[in-house]
Amino acid sequence: MSEQTRRPVHTRTITIDVFRAGDDELEVTGRLVDSRPDAQPSWFDVPQGSTIHDMSVTLRVRYPDLTITAASSSMTEHPYTICPDAIPALGRLVGLSVAQGFTRAVNERLGRQQGCSHMTALVHAMAPAIKQGAGAAFFDENGFPPPDADLWFINTCQAWRDGGPLVKGLRAGDTEGLKALRARGETA
């Protein structure tokens, strides 16, 4: 298929913004938008270029345990009048920690006929952003976590493997050694 004839039939965009909301809390807003830029045939007479889903989820998350303290959602665009009936299920997330087992716990509370698959996918996508946002909001000016922080990122990829140079440098407090491993140069 040539680039001239290769056109998307479905586009999903997820954006996640993490805000510091006090000394020990984050507010995290995720938005999922599904559109059909050039889809044929259309599903239930949805016109080309239409937005099928436009929904957001907002979570309040306590630091350092990353426990969800509040959850809300809105659906601006949805294909069926009954779709917003899934919104109250988000309340089941309150009390969960964004830690190991989070995906499974979310699926148990929101999965399949209990909620909305699109909201569930959005909450799954928000989890790593919550952890990265916590690091940006609460680590010290050198990017080092506080002594009681959960070093959740260890063993999430080869760069942060236990025993690798990044983890060794972090545990040793070697700021200069970590800076030497950055892919970006110093900024002025």
22 vs 35: CA distance, rounded Å: 35
Question: Is a pLDDT exceeding 50 seen at residue 153?
Answer: yes
Confidence class for position 77, pLDDT limits 50, 70, 90: very high
Of 177, 57, 38, which is closest to residue 106 (Cα–Cα)?
57
**pLDDT reported for residue 188:** 44
Lay out the sheet containing 67-77: strands in order across: 11-20, 25-36, 50-62, 67-77
Calculate the dihedral angle through the C-alpha atoms of 114, 116, 120, 122, rounding to the nearest 10 degrees.
Answer: -160
Lowest mean pLDDT among 29-38, 124-133, 149-158: 149-158
Question: Is a pLDDT exceeding 90 seen at residue 160?
Answer: no
183 or 77, which is more confident?
A: 77
Structure tokens at 22: 């006090």
Confidence class for position 185, pLDDT limits 50, 70, 90: low
Confidence class for position 99, pLDDT limits 50, 70, 90: confident
Q: Which residues contact 155 (CB under 8 A, 6 or more apart)?
A: 161, 162
Q: Is 157 left (phi over 0), alpha (psi -120 to 50) or beta?
A: beta
Q: Quote the percentage of the chain above a pLDDT of 70.
A: 87
Average pLDDT for 126-139: 90
The mean predicted confidence, pLDDT, of the chain is 88
67 or 7, which is more confident?
A: 67
Question: Is a pLDDT exceeding 80 seen at residue 17?
Answer: yes
177 or 25, which is more confident?
A: 25
Query: C-alpha distances in angstroms, 138 versus 115, 133, 141, 157?
Result: 32, 8, 9, 22
Q: Which residues contact 125 (CB under 8 A, 6 or more apart)?
A: 14, 16, 30, 32
Per-residue exposure over 63-79, b if at least 16 CB sit within 10 Å of its own CB, e if not:
beebbbeebebebeebe
